[in-house]
Structure 1
Amino acid sequence: MKKIVVTGKTAQDAIASGLRQLGVPEARVKSTILEHPARGLFGLIGAKDAKVELELLPDPLEEAEAFLQEVMEAMQLRDIRIEKKQSREGTELHLFGGELGMLIGRRGQTLDALQYLVNIVANRYADHHLRIVLDAEQFRERRKETLRGLADRLAERVIRTKKEVVLEPMSPQERKVIHSQLQQHAKVRTFSRGDEPNRRVVIVLR
């Protein structure tokens, strides 16, 4: 971690000077007063400035991105671009470029596992809980569209056969898509059954 030692007439002056040098807000540093200011004899002779050590604290998102880069290098995935975006879900990290299929995995399972690890890394350095959503080549939006279409087709099957349909186990996020898609449906309703990681959505007649 980067550390600098700065001086000023007061400790706050020294801290302000250090923050300007580092180009960060005060929340990003840990300050330690090494020497308090002294006025000296008659307020002049032997006067000393305050001396403060500032330690730059890790930025959670920067640490998360560095972790991602290490993983992609280990997987020999090169020329990958990371784009950040804020949404209602939290901070979204979108990956573009290269062959990202192996990073996505079957039905996004590898991507979900990597997202879990990225959140652990980021929250290790955060002073409040962060939620990071990881996506690759807009897989999550494409997957949502697939699930919405699946929900509509299976709802029609339930209406036609008058028998419940039990879907394959899904993550909480994917189950939420199914529930939301059919929430206002006039003829069917949904609920979840089972325990994680084998919890499933069930579609039945109202």
Structure 2
Amino acid sequence: MNKVVTSGKTIEDAVKQGLAMLGVTEDQVAVTVLEQPSRGFLGLIGVKPAKVAVSLLNEEHPESEPPRKETSAESVLSESSTVQEAVGQDRDPYEAAASFLREVGESMGLEIEVEIRKHRDGMLLAISGSNLGLLIGRRGQTLDALQYLANIVANRYSSNFVRLIVDAENFRQRRKKTLEELAERLAERVVRTGKEVVLEPMPSQERKAIHAKLQNHPEVKTLSKGDEPNRRVVITPRYK
């Protein structure tokens, strides 16, 4: 067997499989990339594995360029023309992040606008448009992922650390209100039953909203338990 076609999550994984099947080392083969891997949108939609042809060098096969190792965040960002520009280029970091978000919206078939505003916790990138539920995701998980990536983009163009908040349809404020109402209901249950309540895992900003709402409650107190990403808020009687 002088040639095999293999697939994997990354090009490197596919090449390793081919080497194992042929029983050779990387310097003894030529690699032809047949299909680039696609992680889809944020690794959730349209995921496609890499496919390569691995051939022994004694066969007449042109050598391909060596596989490139990718990280999850970098691979998502590399698809954006915003971050394909030189890192040291003189560009406003907030505009760069806003451009990245517009490109993500365009790739999803959405027409969106991104407004840059000042916010008490940093700069706010407010997204407006139609069908923004796709950008928000379940309980804001997709929006949180976009915020993480937008911060990476912005800080590539800034010599000082910048912090961005990404919001859509005022979701952050509406989610905060929902969490505060939930905190009040659960606090009442703890007072009534005398038993602590453990919430589902939440990101840090949502745990912060629960803690802030109940910090002055006379009969209950809150604490966080566990490690990320499974860290949870616990509401317990204050004098138990």
The question of a shared fold, defined as TM-score above 0.5 by the shorter chain, is answered with yes
1:178-197 correspondence to structure 2 within 5 Å: 178-197=210-229
Which position in structure 2 is the counterpart of 1:88?
120
1:115-156 deviation per Cα after TM superposition (whole angstroms, max 9, x unaligned): 000000000110111000000000000000000000000000
Which position in structure 2 is the counterpart of 1:159?
191
Say whether the 8 Å CA contact 2:224–2:232 is kept in structure 1: yes
Unaligned runs of 5+ in 1: 1-54
TM-score by length of 1: 0.72
Of 73, 80, 83, which aligns to 2:106? Answer: 73
Unaligned runs of 5+ in 2: 1-87
Which position in structure 2 is the counterpart of 1:116?
148
Which position in structure 2 is the counterpart of 1:140?
172
CA drift of 1:65 comes to 1.1
Q: Do structure 1's residue 105 and structure 2's residue 140 form an aligned pair? A: no
Which position in structure 2 is the counterpart of 1:150?
182
CA drift of 1:88 comes to 1.7
CA drift of 1:85 comes to 1.4
Which position in structure 2 is the counterpart of 1:38?
none
Which position in structure 1 is the counterpart of 2:203?
171
Give distance in 2, aligned partners of 1:176 and 1:146. 13
Q: Do structure 1's residue 58 and structure 2's residue 55 form an aligned pair? A: no
Give distance in 1, aligned partners of 2:104 and 2:92. 19
Say whether the 8 Å CA contact 2:222–2:236 is kept in structure 1: yes
Give distance in 1, aligned partners of 2:118 and 2:98. 15
* Count of residue pairs the alignment pairs up: 151
SS in 1 for 2:91: coil
CA drift of 1:56 comes to 6.6
Question: Which one scores higher on RCO, CA 8 angstroms, separation ≥ 6?
Answer: 1
CA drift of 1:83 comes to 1.6
CA drift of 1:96 comes to 1.1
Give distance in 2, aligned partners of 1:66 and 1:139. 21
Give distance in 2, aligned partners of 1:97 and 1:174. 25
Which position in structure 1 is the counterpart of 2:19?
none
Give distance in 2, aligned partners of 1:198 and 1:73. 32
When Rg is computed on C-alpha atoms for both structures, the one with the higher figure is: 1
Residue type of the alignment partner of 1:113 = A
SS in 2 for 1:93: strand
Say whether the 8 Å CA contact 2:114–2:125 is kept in structure 1: yes
TM-score by length of 2: 0.62
Q: Relative to 1, partners in 2 of residues 1:125 and 1:163: Cα closer, same or farther, differing over 3 Å?
A: same
Give distance in 2, aligned partners of 1:115 and 1:165. 30
Give distance in 2, aligned partners of 1:87 and 1:123. 17
